[in-house]
Chains A and B, each alone.
Chain A
Amino acid sequence: MSAAAATAPKPPIRHRKNVYFLTPGQLASLREAFAAVQGISDNRGYQFYAGIHGVPGGYCVHNPPPTVISLFLPWHRAYLYFFELALRDQVPDAMLTWWNWASPRAHQRGIPAAFAADEADGQPNPLLKAAIDPSLGGPHETHREPDHPANLPTANAVQNVLKIQQFNRFSARLEDIHGDFHVWVGGEMGRIDWAAYDPIFWAHHANIDRLWARWQLTHSPVFPRAYLDHALPPFPMTVRQTLDVSQLGYDYASSTSHVTVP
């Protein structure tokens, strides 16, 4: 390593923040990034990334048979990582946000305004819904039919999952709670094949990823060794490379604020 490289400042870790605590600027950046990728039709765009999950790509990992260790968590961590890079290619300071659907506020009010408002600054809200390529033969746009907020997954259920010691059991129970939320939202989020087209998919999976990151802080080993070098198609990444979010350049925070020394 050269002397210059050794002393070069490391880029700062970026934070995915709680949707309830986003500043107006942070939310605006996220919306701007979503709107930008939704307007791109090539492999930098929203249709490309959303289509990786179910239709047409079919790459998502869910409901594993009992004979294998589940790659549900590392696969979705890689998925969010590459999609977030696509957002940041358009708006460099945009970061995915997470929605804790087990929080008291969620249980009172349901889907947060950031994802539920029809408009933002006079424009259609790109976090409310998204178009789906009609040539795929399915729905042409996402929509939601959420159940009552009181029926969202509970904080008690989440706490019980975080106590589980063994990885595959933890992953299975967390995936079950994750499925509970998909069913709760309904609409395209209620189907594996179309779920990733709904913008709230990303806030949901950021919360799932956050819970895995939290579990990792207090449990070891963090993943069964035999699967560490498994690939996570279509991403150029192995399970091992997903295990430390700080090596992917991010962490989870409630909120962030930043000032520069004048």
Chain B
Amino acid sequence: MAEPLTLAGLVVPNHPEAGVDFDHADLQFHRVDHSGHSYEVRVYLNNHDATEETGREEGAGYAGSFFIFGHGGCYGEEGHCDPKRRGSHAFDLRPPHPLEPTTKSLEITDSLKRIRDGGTSELDVTLVPIVRSGDVPAAGPIHDELKLDSVSLVTYETSGA
């Protein structure tokens, strides 16, 4: 199964001079592939060493999980599972190709505030994929890595003016 993946360099927002604080923070995971296995993705903050054995405690940097409900490989013929093979047409009313990569989101408000209040200005995100053994046999080969394009940290002020 896929190795943990660390993305470094997100900036922790800290603007005490503004007199206003964020009250909601999301990590957004962009263009996540869901064509293969189904699995849990555990998200750790500022813990490059997180693995499947790492606990899900606040002290270990665990911020939460998201889940990939995967298709388990391709049961169609050549080109069936490739969104790029569909083509791009004006006035195309079809729903998106089922294998267009998706976006996942995880709220990390409390975790981010703890990190900020501890004086850390950068945020690294480590994603640990957890597949349970004994899965249904796949249809053909499945790429074995966690695939996504990027991660964003987005904070919001949802109260006040």
Contacts and interface: CB of A to CB of B under 8 A. Distances in A.
Interface size classification for chain A: 35 or more
A240 interface: no
B contact face: mostly helix, strand, loop, or mixed: loop
B75 A183 contact: no
A180 B40 contact: yes
B59 interface: no
Contacts of B38: 179, 182-183, 190-192
B100 A61 contact: no
B137 to A, nearest CB: 7
A190 B136 contact: yes
A66 interface: yes
Interface string B23-42: 00000001010100011100
A194 B102 CA distance: 20
B108 to A, nearest CB: 13
Interface in A133-179: 136-139, 145, 147, 160, 169, 172-173, 176, 178-179
Nearest to B138: A191
A56 B77 CA distance: 12
Nearest to A147: B132
Contacts of A61: 95
Nearest to A63: B102
A176 B66 contact: yes
B139 A193 contact: yes
18 contacts: A62-B98, A63-B32, A63-B98, A64-B96, A65-B101, A65-B102, A66-B30, A68-B95, A137-B75, A180-B65, A182-B67, A183-B68, A183-B69, A183-B132, A186-B132, A187-B134, A192-B34, A192-B71
